[in-house]
Structure 1
Amino acid sequence: MSARGLLIAAPRSGSGKTTITLGLQRALVQRGLTVRGLKCGPDYIDPAFHAAATGAPSANLDSYAMPDGLLGRITQDAIEAADLVIAEGSMGLFDAVPGPEGHTGASADIAALTGWPVLLVIDVSGQAQSAAAVALGCRVYDPRIRVAGVILNKVASARHERLARQGMERIGMPVLGALPREASLILPERHLGLVQAGETADLHARLDALAEAVAAAVDLDAVIAAAGETRLPPAHDTPPLPAPGRRIAIARDAAFSFVYPHVEAGWRAAGAELVPFSPLQDEAPPEHCDACWLPGGYPELHAATIAAAARFLGGLRSFAETRPVHGECGGYMVLGRSLTDADGVSHGMAGLLSVETSFAKRKMNLGYRRAVLQADGPLGLAGATLTGHEFHYASIVAQGEDPPFAMVGDPHGSAPAPAGSRRGLVTGSFFHAIATAPSA
Structure 2
Amino acid sequence: MPASLVISAPASGVGKTTLTLALARAWRNRGLNVQCFKSGPDYIDPAFHAAATGRASVNVDSWAMDRGAIAHLVSRGADADVVLAEGSMGLFDGVAARGVSGTGATADIAEMLGWPVVLVIDPSGQAQTAAAIAAGLRDYRPGLRLAGVVLNRVASPRHEALVRHALNDVGIAVFGALPRHAEINLPKRHLGLVQAEEQAEIGKLIDEAARFVAEHVDLDAVLRSAAAWSLQPAANGINVTPPGQRIALARDAAFSFVYPHMLEAWRAAGAEISTFSPLADETPDANADVCWLPGGYPELHAGKIAANDRFRGGLCAFAETRPVHGECGGYMVLGAGLTDADGLRHEMTGLLGLETSFAKRRMHLGYRLAALAAPMPGHQAGARLRGHEFHYSTILAQPDMPLAVVHDATGAVIAETGSRRGHATGTFFHLIAEDR
TM-score by length of 1: 0.97
Q: Which residue of 2 aligns with 1:307?
A: 306
Distance in 2 separating the partners of 1:197 and 1:299: 17
Give the residue type in structure 2 aligned to 1:175. V
Give the residue type in structure 2 aligned to 1:390. E
Q: Cα deviation per residue 1:63-122 (whole Å; 9 max; x = unaligned)?
A: 001122211111112x22311111101000001112349510000000001110000100
Q: Which residue of 2 aligns with 1:56?
A: 55
Q: Which residue of 1 aligns with 2:274?
A: 275
Q: Which residue of 2 aligns with 1:212?
A: 211
Q: Which residue of 1 aligns with 2:433?
A: 435
Distance in 2 separating the partners of 1:242 and 1:175: 45
Q: Cα deviation per residue 1:16-72 (whole Å; 9 max; x = unaligned)?
A: 111111111111111110001101100000111000011110010110011222111
Distance in 2 separating the partners of 1:130 and 1:418: 42
Give the residue type in structure 1 aligned to 2:120. V
Give the residue type in structure 1 aligned to 2:257. F
- Segment drifting more, 101-110 vs 10-19: 101-110
Q: Which residue of 1 aligns with 2:325?
A: 326
Distance in 2 separating the partners of 1:383 and 1:48: 33
% of aligned pairs identical?
60
Give the residue type in structure 2 aligned to 1:80. A
Indicate if the aligned counterparts of 1:113 and 1:233 stay in contact, CA closer than 8 A: no
Distance in 1 separating the partners of 2:98 and 2:333: 37
Distance in 2 separating the partners of 1:137 and 1:355: 47
Q: Which residue of 2 aligns with 1:243?
A: 242
RMSD between aligned residues: 1.3
**Superposed displacement of residue 231, structure 1:** 5.2
Distance 1:111 1:369, change over 3 A: same
Distance in 1 separating the partners of 2:435 and 2:393: 27
Q: Is 1:15 equivalent to 2:14 in the alignment? A: yes
TM-score by length of 2: 0.97
**Superposed displacement of residue 238, structure 1:** 4.3
Q: Secondary structure at the match of 2:401?
A: coil
Q: Which residue of 2 aligns with 1:227?
A: 226
Q: Cα deviation per residue 1:137-169 (whole Å; 9 max; x = unaligned)?
A: 011101121001000111111111111100011
Distance in 2 separating the partners of 1:15 and 1:54: 22
Distance 1:70 1:276, change over 3 A: same
Question: Within 5 Å, which residues of 2 pair with 1:256-275?
Answer: 256-275=255-274
Q: Which residue of 2 aligns with 1:163?
A: 162
Q: Which residue of 2 aligns with 1:371?
A: 370
Q: Which residue of 1 aligns with 2:113?
A: 114
Indicate if the aligned counterparts of 1:405 and 1:418 stay in contact, CA closer than 8 A: no
Q: Secondary structure at the match of 1:256?
A: coil
Distance in 2 separating the partners of 1:18 and 1:418: 30
Q: Which residue of 2 aligns with 1:172?
A: 171
Q: Which residue of 2 aligns with 1:200?
A: 199
Q: Which residue of 1 aligns with 2:78?
A: 80
- Segment drifting more, 138-147 vs 101-110: 101-110
Distance 1:239 1:89, change over 3 A: closer
Distance 1:246 1:239, change over 3 A: farther
- Segment drifting more, 176-185 vs 97-106: 97-106
Q: Is 1:420 equivalent to 2:415 in the alignment? A: no
Indicate if the aligned counterparts of 1:375 and 1:382 stay in contact, CA closer than 8 A: yes
Q: Which residue of 1 aligns with 2:124?
A: 125
Q: Which residue of 2 aligns with 1:293?
A: 292
Q: Secondary structure at the match of 1:248?
A: strand
Q: Cα deviation per residue 1:303-333 (whole Å; 9 max; x = unaligned)?
A: 0110111111111011111111100000000
Distance in 2 separating the partners of 1:144 and 1:95: 17
Distance in 1 separating the partners of 2:254 and 2:413: 32
Number of matched pairs: 435
Q: Secondary structure at the match of 2:210?
A: helix
Distance 1:354 1:137, change over 3 A: same
Q: Which residue of 2 aligns with 1:191?
A: 190
The unaligned stretches of length 5 or more in structure 2 are none
**Superposed displacement of residue 393, structure 1:** 0.2
**Superposed displacement of residue 362, structure 1:** 1.2
Indicate if the aligned counterparts of 2:244 and 2:378 stay in contact, CA closer than 8 A: no
Distance in 1 separating the partners of 2:272 and 2:259: 16
